[in-house]
Amino acid sequence: MKDLVSIREISKENIESILSTAASFKAVLKRDIKKVPALRGKTVVNLFFEPSTRTKTSFELAEKRLSTDVLNFSVPTSSVVKGETLLDTVRTIESYGVDCIVIRHSSSGVPHFIAKNSHASVVNAGDGTNEHPTQALLDAFSILERKDTLDGLRIAIIGDVHHSRVAKSNIYLFSNYKSEIRLIGPPALIPEFKGYNVSYFNSIEEGIEGADVVMMLRIQSERMTKGFFPSTLEYANLWGLNRQRLKLAKKDAIVMHPGPLNRGVEITSDVADSGQSIILEQVTNGLAVRMAVMYLLGRDNEQ
């Protein structure tokens, strides 16, 4: 594996190797000394063309815990505003001898383009409305920890699937397993996934019934260029997760959310802070999973 740009392009074997390696890194993160020399001497650049706090923080900490040297390149302070092309930016960065490029971009496909044009490993940290592979991997890791399996589960994904790269990467990831994926939300925000085994619901009550996993998505107002639903209040009334609706899922169902939360919109505070919520575990697991991804790529892409 040289790059991680899309869940669709990696095998089930790759997925499982990432998940089992992540378990070892999670154990490292529980020690007093949370840093290992695994990628000592390697250089990683975080190339974020889109605002991000949590994903960037998570990647940066993962890189530091692997003993890499970290370069942060964020757009408002970079030469991109001076008119440099993407390829020139990448070539310039590559000339520093960078081993891995972590990229987030508002346009889908940019990580693919860079992966094709660079010797460095490329990790997609979210591209437009396309994919967010490390988020899907950390979701799978979190589910596996709680449910001991990724097969035979009923997984309800609720909200703005259309704009959600998280939802898409999860759908692609779970196509490797025998779990049932249910997509729930306003019709305008639920695209069709041809060739994937998913079912579609407009009513949250119907869709959530008997679910083992309830995965909430963030309403992405920044990507809404037209009216997909009347108002946030109406959205909360029709598709928000509250205590009553959660009761329709299995008793031991877990609630997930990729963050940041819009409390009172897609999820009520009492559910987000309840014992069934594993939202903060997802954050911790994200660190372990990203360490695993970068460790495995760094190991395989030695020149």
- The residues assigned a catalytic role are 54-55, 82, 104, 132
For residue 302, the minimal CB distance to other proteins (Å) is: 2
Which stretch, 33-41, 54-62, 115-123, 194-202, contacts other proteins (CB under 8 A)? 33-41
Q: How many residues does the chain have?
A: 303
Strand blocks (E) in 49-179: 69-74, 100-105, 121-127, 154-158
What b-and-e string marks burial along 185-195, b requiring 16 or more CB atoms within 10 Å of the CB?
A: bbeebbeebee
Q: Is 192 or 302 the residue whose CB approaches other proteins more closely?
A: 302
Site for other proteins contains 295 (CB under 8 A): yes
Q: State which of residues 2, 12, 24, 234 lies at the interface with other proteins (CB under 8 A).
A: 24
Nearest-CA neighbor of 257 among 231, 219, 206?
219
For residue 26, the minimal CB distance to other proteins (Å) is: 10
Q: State which of residues 1, 23, 29, 86 lies at the interface with other proteins (CB under 8 A).
A: 23
What's 79's DSSP letter? Answer: G
Chain centroid to Cα 66, Å, comes to 20
Residues ≥6 apart with Cβ < 8 Å to 277 = 254, 255, 256, 257, 271
What's 149's DSSP letter? Answer: -
Q: Is 141 or 295 the residue whose CB approaches other proteins more closely?
A: 295
Q: Is 78 or 301 the residue whose CB approaches other proteins more closely?
A: 301
Q: Is 15 or 214 the residue whose CB approaches other proteins more closely?
A: 15
Backbone angles phi, psi at 294, to 5 degrees: -70, -35
Which stretch, 19-27, 112-120, 122-130, 237-245, contacts other proteins (CB under 8 A)? 19-27
Q: Is 16 or 60 the residue whose CB approaches other proteins more closely?
A: 16
Q: Is 2 or 247 the residue whose CB approaches other proteins more closely?
A: 2
Site for other proteins contains 73 (CB under 8 A): no
Site for other proteins contains 36 (CB under 8 A): yes
Helix/strand/coil for 191: coil
Site for other proteins contains 20 (CB under 8 A): yes
Cβ distance 177 to 198 under 8 Å? no
Which stretch, 81-89, 145-153, 213-221, 294-302, contacts other proteins (CB under 8 A)? 294-302
Nearest-CA neighbor of 89 among 69, 75, 100, 99?
75
Backbone angles phi, psi at 220, to 5 degrees: -95, 80
Which stretch, 18-26, 100-108, 147-155, 239-247, contacts other proteins (CB under 8 A)? 18-26
Site for other proteins contains 29 (CB under 8 A): no
Site for other proteins contains 31 (CB under 8 A): yes
SS3 content of the chain, % helix, strand, coil (to 5): 45, 15, 40
Q: State which of residues 27, 87, 188, 280 lies at the interface with other proteins (CB under 8 A).
A: 27
Largest interatomic CA distance in the chain: 56
Nearest-CA neighbor of 265 among 227, 220, 245, 235?
235
Nearest-CA neighbor of 52 among 123, 112, 125?
125
Q: How many residues bind other proteins (CB under 8 A)?
A: 19
Which stretch, 35-43, 46-54, 206-214, 281-289, contacts other proteins (CB under 8 A)? 35-43
User: In the complex, which residues of this chain contact other proteins (CB under 8 A)?
Assistant: 17, 20-21, 23-24, 27-28, 31-33, 36-39, 295, 298-300, 302
